[in-house]
Amino acid sequence: MKLLLVIALCAAVASGAAVPEEEADSRFAYVNWEDNQVNLQVNQSSIIEGVIVMLVVLALVLVLVPLVTNLLGGAEETTGYATGASGYETGYDSYKRSLDAALPILDQLQAAWKKFA
């Protein structure tokens, strides 16, 4: 435990000693007014860092979206045929099943509305 404390103290002292005297301007963009001229200056390192972050986020999205859709069952294999003979249900059958599942909930809501209204 004492060794960990000594290491943390040495790291804090070392990081404090490495602070430069003159730090760079950390603004993304700023406007200079000189001799009746307007100059817009953009910090190039901020643009580069932004592009790198956007590329990392894009890579994560491209990797995670297919994984999430597979976990949620979005990648079911279908043949494209919606006939009753092949075991696939038509759009109306799916609608009817959803409506049958929702009717008890709607009945309870209607009873509660009548009771408290």
pLDDT in tens, 27-67: 677 788 888 888 888 878 878 888 999 999 999 999 988 88
d(CA 28, CA 32) in angstroms, rounded, equals: 13
pTM: 0.36
Mean model confidence pLDDT for the chain = 75
Per-residue pLDDT at 97 exceeds 60: yes
**pLDDT value for 43:** 78
Question: Which phi and psi angles does 82 have, rounded to 5°?
Answer: -115, 55
Per-residue pLDDT at 21 exceeds 80: no
Place of tokens 């075991």: 87
